[in-house]
């Protein structure tokens, strides 16, 4: 009898059973779907019942409905039903839900409750939108220099130290603080270092005046640029994952030094997403200048000292105090409230520093008016095709302070669309540096399906050719190899589904490649067995020697291929990394099936025989 531990056979059976179970959701396919999300609140069972009743009254029946991560997903058997349901829900519950068109798996409810899900398809297979944004990393460095300038001025002002000026030289990455004499220089240096102990300042002179100089090192510049890219990635992910946009499975990754690639599989309308992604919105709270006439200031162009001229939504002039009560960077939360006594509103939360300022201001200014200034920054192309920064500042709300408040209050004066967008932008945070779109590609679902069909055909025909060759050339052992190859694909599919990795067209190529490598491993084993038989070794000993002596060659080739895949994953991007992930997982499954799976099957077929006269190989 051939000796092979029973626990290894049991392990192979358990792993294969588990693999089939995890890969099972991929057999159910997808349907057209709607995703419903609430602003800052999860969709609950009562919403599900209400939506189902709305559709039932109009004769539209979803083929499936489930709650997932606070969103309600409805599946429909036809595109017509999907679009009709969207219109019915939007008409019956205006501004209550954000509705997105998408695709959803037909996986049964019990599988979904167990956390089982099918393979995620990449952009080239599912269709959708591919965007590439370039980060203005030099602008991020300028922001850092401006920040240091403002901090220096604030430190000197708080310490009541007089100074000549604070100069910023952007090309040389330096900030200089000019003083009038040695005495103010000493006091100013002490004040600045007290607030900024981690900075390295140099004593110098400018036009005979004592000065302090801060110069950014190359390392500091690089760190600031990397921070700008990484922070923008985080902010973009927050915006895409927000309930207001309801984008399904967005992928945001760094591309090169200063670019960010965004993949939105299944997205059918990118207008709203693109509008939100590149924007930076913030608020400023200022007291209204009630002592001067804004119409006179607007007509004469002479703004009173200590005030600043703004305009409201109706293009009417408004005079506000220059001193800012609270700025946007002190906001901690913002949520949209569609129905209040005064209409749509945005609820705002402040951090401790902002809350203290707001509390003091409201205590000192009861009965006076405070205004909210909305600042919208974006980057657009002008008529000449050049990227220009657009900044819009307008007063969206003026109200009399009737009571004392600090960290939580409500802003009114916005319509539902603006309120939802404002809450999203404020909550996700401002971009660390401006973005400009450099590439946009839309891939239709039909093209994605065509890619799936071609990739599937390539895999099926390639595997079929390998199966036929192995069955003819190696007979029974060839059939064993065919079973292990099929098990390899099942296990690879199960791993990809379990890990949530996205399958792309290069990923399908990697699957075909790993099947070829698995075939190669089986051929090495079987040729070694045939060689042993030609040398007159008994069938039992030939099987044992074939698996043992082929192991080193199989391990060497697979380890080197795995290292190559690891290098591709570390240094590649986009589709290259997807290929590498599938390749590395495929190597793991092919090693398992070729060495343990086929060995277990050989044991099942030949292990129980007392005498083996001939091997069908």
Please report, for the domain that includes residue 491, its CATH number.
Answer: 1.20.1640.10
Average pLDDT over residues 88-104: 78
Note whether residue 521 is domain-resident.
Answer: yes
Boundary residue ending a domain (89, 106, 123):
106
Residue 150 is assigned to a structural domain of this protein? yes
Q: What CATH number corresponds to the domain at position 79?
A: 3.30.70.260
- Chain position carrying tokens 């006091």: 187
pLDDT digits (tens, 9 = 90+) for 388-424: 667 778 887 788 888 888 877 777 766 676 677 667 6
**Domain-terminating residue out of 202, 221, 240:** 221
Q: What DSSP letter does each residue of 362-383 carry, written as one string? A: HHH-TTSEEEEEEEEEEEEE-T
Per-residue pLDDT averaged across 344-368, rounded? 84
Same domain, 157 and 184: yes
Residue 536 DSSP SS3: coil
- Are both 467 and 579 inside the same structural domain? yes
pLDDT in tens, 114-147: 888 888 777 777 777 788 888 888 888 887 888 7
Taking alpha carbons only, the member of 509, 493, 488 closest to residue 580 is: 509
**Residue 268 belongs to a domain:** no
The per-residue pLDDT for range 435-455, each reduced to its tens digit, is: 777 877 776 655 666 767 777
| Same domain for 594 and 448 | yes
Give the chain's domain count. 4
Q: What is the pLDDT of residue 1?
A: 47
Residues 160 and 101 in one domain: no
432 against 480, higher pLDDT:
480
Give residue 373's Cα distance to chain centre. 30
Q: Full-prediction pTM beyond 0.85? A: no
Question: Helices (DSSP H) in 500-593: which residue ranges?
Answer: 505-534, 539-571, 575-591
Domain assignment of residue 233, yes or no: no
Instruction: Please indicate, yes or no, whether residues 336 and 476 belong to a single structural domain of this protein.
Output: no
Mean pLDDT over 221-247 rounds to 76
In a domain, 200, yes or no: yes
Q: Which backbone phi and psi does 325 adopt, to 5 degrees?
A: -75, -55
Q: What is the pLDDT of residues 23-68, one digit of tens each?
A: 998 888 888 888 787 755 566 777 888 888 888 888 888 888 888 7
* 177, 37: one domain: no
CATH number assigned to the domain comprising residue 182: 3.30.1360
Tokens of 45: 């069972």
Pick from 615, 597, 556: which is nearest to 16 by CA? 597
Most confident residue range from 148-152, 413-417, 470-474: 470-474
Three-state secondary-structure class, residue 117: coil
Residue 237 lies in a domain: no
Domain range for 180 is 137-221
Chain centroid offset of residue 210 CA: 49
Question: Same structural domain for residues 407 and 505?
Answer: no
Q: Is residue 439 part of a domain?
A: no
Please say if the pLDDT value at position 319 is more than 90. yes
Q: Which two tokens stand for residue 198?
A: 């981690």
Place of tokens 């709650």: 67
Do 413 and 449 lie in a common domain? no
Q: Which two tokens stand for residue 499?
A: 């890990």
Domain endpoint, select from 430, 465, 494: 430
**pLDDT class of 288 with cuts at 50, 70, 90:** very high
CA-nearest of 401, 188, 214, 187 to 290 is 401
Domain match, 549 and 523 both: yes
- Say if 271 falls within a structural domain: no
Strand partners, 169: 174
**Strand arrangement of the beta sheet that strand 307-311 belongs to:** 307-311, 317-327, 280-288, 369-381, 387-400
Q: Where are the alpha helices (DSSP H) in 241-300?
A: 271-277, 294-300
Q: CA 153, CA 216: separation in Å to the nearest integer?
A: 18
580 in the same domain as 494? yes
In a shared domain, residues 448 and 581: yes
**Rounded distance between C-alpha atoms, residue 53 and residue 615, angstroms:** 67
pLDDT, position 309: 92
316 and 374 in a single domain? The answer is: yes
Contacts of the segment 505-509: beta carbons below 8 A, 24+ positions apart: 505/122, 505/124, 505/125, 505/451, 505/455, 505/575, 506/575, 506/576, 506/578, 506/579, 506/582, 507/122, 507/578, 507/579, 507/581, 507/582, 508/455, 508/456, 508/458, 508/459, 509/455, 509/579
Contacts of 64 (CB under 8 A, 6+ apart): 31, 74, 75, 104, 106
């Amino acid at each position: 009898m051939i000796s092979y531990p029973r626990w290894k056979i049991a392990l192979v059976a358990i792993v294969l059973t588990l693999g089939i179970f995890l890969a099972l959701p991929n057999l159910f396919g997808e349907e057209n779907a709607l995703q419903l999300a609430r602003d800052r609140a999860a969709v609950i069972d009562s919403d599900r019942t209400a939506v189902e009743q709305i559709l039932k009254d109009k004769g539209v029946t979803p083929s499936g409905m489930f709650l997932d991560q606070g969103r309600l997903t409805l599946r429909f058997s036809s595109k017509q039903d999907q679009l009709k349901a969207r219109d019915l829900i939007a008409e019956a519950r205006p501004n209550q839900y954000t509705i997105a068109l998408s695709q959803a798996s037909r996986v049964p409810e019990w599988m979904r409750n167990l956390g089982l899900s099918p393979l995620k398809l990449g952009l080239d297979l599912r269709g959708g939108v591919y965007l590439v944004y370039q980060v203005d990393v030099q602008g991020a460095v300028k922001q850092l220099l401006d920040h240091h300038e403002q901090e220096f001025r604030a430190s000197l002002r708080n310490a009541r130290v007089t100074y000549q000026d604070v100069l910023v030289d952007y090309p040389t990455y330096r900030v200089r603080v000019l003083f009038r004499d040695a005495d103010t220089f000493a006091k100013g240096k002490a004040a600045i270092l007290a607030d900024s102990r981690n900075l390295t300042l140099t004593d110098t002179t400018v036009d005979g005046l004592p000065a302090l100089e801060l110069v950014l090192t190359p390392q500091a510049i690089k760190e600031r640029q990397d921070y700008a890219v990484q922070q923008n990635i985080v902010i973009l992910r927050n915006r895409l994952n927000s309930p207001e946009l309801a984008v399904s499975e967005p992928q945001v990754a760094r591309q090169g030094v200063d670019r960010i690639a965004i993949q939105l599989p299944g997205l059918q309308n990118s207008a709203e997403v693109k509008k939100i992604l590149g924007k930076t919105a913030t608020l400023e709270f200022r007291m209204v200048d009630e002592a001067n006439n804004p119409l006179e200031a607007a007509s004469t162009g002479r703004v009173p000292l200590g005030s600043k001229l703004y305009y409201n939504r109706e293009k009417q002039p408004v005079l506000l105090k220059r001193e800012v009560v609270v700025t946007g960077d002190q906001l901690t939360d913002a949520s949209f409230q569609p129905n209040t006594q005064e209409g749509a509103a945005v609820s705002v939360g402040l951090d401790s520093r902002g809350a203290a300022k707001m509390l003091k201001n409201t205590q000192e200014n009861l009965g006076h008016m405070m205004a909210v200034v909305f600042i919208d920054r974006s980057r657009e192309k002008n008529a000449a095709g050049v990227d220009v920064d657009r900044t819009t500042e307008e007063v969206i709300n003026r109200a009399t302070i009737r009571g004392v408040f600090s960290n939580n209050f409500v802003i009114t004066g916005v319509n539902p669309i603006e309120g939802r967008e404002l809450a999203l932008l404020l909550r996700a945070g401002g971009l660390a540096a401006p973005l400009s779109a450099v590439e946009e590609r839309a891939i239709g679902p039909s093209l994605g399906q065509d890619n799936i069909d071609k990739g599937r055909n390539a895999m099926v025909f390639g595997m079929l050719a390998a199966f036929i060759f192995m069955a003819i050339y190696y007979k029974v052992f060839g059939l064993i190899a065919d079973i292990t190859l099929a098990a390899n694909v099942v296990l690879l599919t199960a791993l990809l589904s379990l890990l949530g990795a996205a399958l792309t067209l290069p990923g399908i190529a990697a699957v075909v490649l790993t099947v070829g490598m698995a075939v190669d491993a089986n051929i090495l084993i079987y040729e070694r067995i045939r060689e042993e038989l030609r040398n007159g070794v008994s069938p039992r000993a030939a099987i044992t020697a074939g698996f043992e002596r082929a192991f080193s060659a199989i391990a060497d080739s697979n380890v080197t291929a795995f290292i190559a895949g690891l290098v591709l994953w570390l240094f590649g991007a986009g589709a290259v990394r997807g290929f590498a992930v599938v390749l590395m997982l495929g190597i793991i499954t092919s090693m398992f099936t070729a060495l343990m799976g086929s060995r277990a099957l050989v044991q099942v077929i030949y292990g129980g025989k007392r005498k083996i006269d001939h091997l069908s190989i």
